[in-house]
Amino acid sequence: MKKFNNNNLKLAIQKEGRLTEETLSFLRRTGLEFESYQQRLFSSCRNFPLEILYLRDDDIPNYVSTGVVDLGIVGQNLLYEKREKVKKLLNLRFGFSSLIIAVPKDSPIKTLADLNGKRIATSYSNTSKSFFKKNNIQADLVQVRGSVEITPSIGIADAIIDLTSTGSTLILQDLRFLTKIYDSEAVLIANNAISTGKKILVNKLITRFKGVLSAKNYKYIFLNTEEKILPRLKKIIPGLGSQTISPLAQKGWVSVTCVVKEDIFWEIIERLKAKGVSRILVLPIEKMIL
C-alpha cells in the first residue's frame, strides 16, 4: 500500500459532504494538481509537497490539534463545538451557514426566555450549553447526531439548535426561526506546533490561497469611451491603484481597463451606463497576488 511522505505537508478535508466539492474546487483553483476519486483515502499533489487526506469532518479538528495532520479545512461551527486547540489561518469564503434556534411554526415559544424548561434537540451540545448559560436559560438538551429538524414533529423536542444556510429545511419541516447563535464559513486551520521546515511550506500555500481569495473579490473591466468624459468616469471608478488608459484608432476615443471590487461592481456599472458608456467587457480574475 502506498504510504505518504512524512516531509510533505498533510491537509485534511471532508471526504464526502457539503464542504467537499467546494474544497476540491478551491484547492484546484490555487493551482494544486491531484487525483481525487470516490474511494480515495488520500492523494498526493503532483506539483506541491502536499498530501490531502479525506476524513469525516468531525475528526478534522482533533487530527489537526494532535498533529496527525498539519492543516485542515472545516466549518468554523465544528471549531466552536469541538474546542480543540488549533490555529485559524484563513477564512475561505465558502460553506456559509448559521447556527440557529428554531421552533415549530405554531409553537407558543416567542422569546429566548420561553425556552426555559423546554426540550431542545441539537448535535451542537457544547455550543448550546454555553449559549444557555450566557442567556440564563434552563433547558433540557436532547442530544442527537443527525436529522435534528424532525425532532419536534416526532415529539421529542420543543425546539432545535441546528445549522442552516438557506432556511429551506425550516420551511420544509414547518419550523420558525427564533434566533441566530452565530454565522460560520469554511476555514483553514493549522496545528499549533508546526516545524520550521514545514512552516515555509505552509506560508507558500497561504500565498496561493490568498491569491485565489483576493481574485474572487475583484473583476477586470474593459470599456471604450470618448476621451472628453474621462474625468467624470475617473470619479466613478476607484480602480485598484490606477486605471490604464490607451488611445483607440478612432480619434477622441480611449480604452480604459481597471480592476473593481465585486461588492461595488454593479453600482459602478450602473453609474457608467448613466454616463453613456455602453460597451463594457467584464472578466473574472484568476489570481491576484498583492
Task: Return residues touching ligand ATP (CB under 6 A).
Answer: 14, 17-19, 56-58, 75, 77-78, 95, 97, 163-165, 184
CA distance 58 to 85: 14
SS (HEC) of 88-149: EEEECCCCCEEEEEEEECCCCCCCHHHHCCCEEEECCHHHHHHHHHHCCCCCEEEECCCCHH
- Per CB under 5 A, the list member of 22, 58, 84, 226 interacting with Mg ion is 58
Query: How far apart, in Å, are the Cα atoms of 50 and each of 36, 72, 77, 111, 239?
Result: 14, 12, 26, 49, 36
Q: In this structure, what DSSP letter does residue 250 have? A: S
**Nearer Cβ to ligand ATP, position 18 or 275?**
18
**Nearer Cβ to Mg ion, position 17 or 117?**
17
**Residue with nearest beta carbon to ligand ATP:** 75
**Nearer Cβ to ligand ATP, position 182 or 253?**
182
Told to check if 59 binds Mg ion by CB under 5 A, we report: no
Given a contact cutoff of 8 angstroms between Cβ atoms, the answer to whether 52 and 11 are in contact is yes
CA distance 276 to 4: 59
Q: Which stretch binds Mg ion (CB under 5 A): 39-47, 49-57, 220-228, 248-256?
A: 49-57
- Tell me the one-letter amino acid at 60: I
Among Mg ion, ligand ATP, none, residue 14 binds (CB under 5-8 Å by kind): ligand ATP
Q: Helix, strand, coil shares of the chain as percentages rounded to 5?
A: 30, 30, 40
Q: Which stretch binds Mg ion (CB under 5 A): 56-64, 184-192, 200-208, 212-220?
A: 56-64
**Nearer Cβ to ligand ATP, position 138 or 165?**
165
In the complex, least distance from residue 91 CB atom to ligand ATP, rounded to whole angstroms: 12
**Nearer Cβ to ligand ATP, position 78 or 260?**
78
In the complex, least distance from residue 79 CB atom to Mg ion, rounded to whole angstroms: 13
Cell numbers given for 146: 443527525
In the complex, least distance from residue 78 CB atom to Mg ion, rounded to whole angstroms: 7
In the complex, least distance from residue 130 CB atom to ligand ATP, rounded to whole angstroms: 18
**Nearer Cβ to Mg ion, position 163 or 190?**
163
Residue 190, beta-bridge partner list:
71, 87
Residue the block writes with cell 457539503: 18
Cell numbers given for 41: 483515502
Residues forming contacts to Mg ion in the complex (CB under 5 A) are: 57-58
